[in-house]
Structure 1
Amino acid sequence: MTLVSLTPTAADRWSIRRGNTTLFRELPLGPAIKLAREIARDEHLRRGHDTCVEMPGVGGPISLAQYVKSPLDATNVASGESVAI
């Protein structure tokens, strides 16, 4: 599974990382979450890898999105999104 993570930086800003690589720095939280989800969805669609987006929380990591293959068929399904059958 590919992990896209948000990490806090100074002054209420956030960085987006994929694995050990920093992709973007010093973003406000809202745009950082939106961009991290887009990156994870794109990674999933292009490469077929399961991906997730996480950020640190008080009790441990908070999962913001997961993109995994559906066990029912070969279509890709993102958690929280509806699929027409």
Structure 2
Amino acid sequence: MIIYTLKPSMEGQWNICRSGFCLFSGLRLGPAITLAREVARDEHARSGRSVCVEMPGLGSAIRLAHYDRCAMAAVADAV
């Protein structure tokens, strides 16, 4: 599974990271979530792999999006 992670920066902004590398930085939370979901959806469409977007929570990570091969096939079949 590919995981995109939203991480807070020291300045109070948010960064989008994958595998420990920062892809986008200095974003407000709303636009960061939107962009991370778009990037994850595109990654899933291109690779067919499971992809999710997470951000830190109080006790554990909060999953903001999850694109799974089975879920996308079910959506395509319903349309």
Q: Distance in 2 between matches of 1:76 and 1:69?
A: 9
Q: Percent identity?
A: 48
Aligned length: 79
Residue 36 (structure 1) aligns with: 36
Residue 67 (structure 2) aligns with: 67
Q: How far apart are residue 76 of structure 1 and its match?
A: 6.7
Structure 1 residue runs of 5 or longer lacking an equivalent are none
Q: How far apart are residue 12 of structure 1 and its match?
A: 2.2
Deviating beyond 6 angstroms after TM superposition, the runs of 4 or more aligned structure 1 residues are none
TM-score by length of 2: 0.88
Residue 58 (structure 1) aligns with: 58
Letter in 1 for 2:18: R
**Structure with greater helix share of residues:** 2
Q: Distance in 1 between matches of 2:10 and 2:39?
A: 23
Q: Distance in 2 between matches of 1:17 and 1:76?
A: 29
Q: Distance in 1 between matches of 2:42 and 2:58?
A: 29
Higher relative contact order, structure no. (Cα contacts within 8 Å, ≥ 6 residues apart):
2
**Structure with greater strand share of residues:** 1
Give the SS at the match of 2:15.
strand
Give the SS at the match of 1:43.
helix
TM-score by length of 1: 0.82
Structure 2 residue runs of 5 or longer lacking an equivalent are none
CA RMSD, Structure 1 to Structure 2 (Å): 2.2
Residue 46 (structure 1) aligns with: 46
Residue 7 (structure 1) aligns with: 7
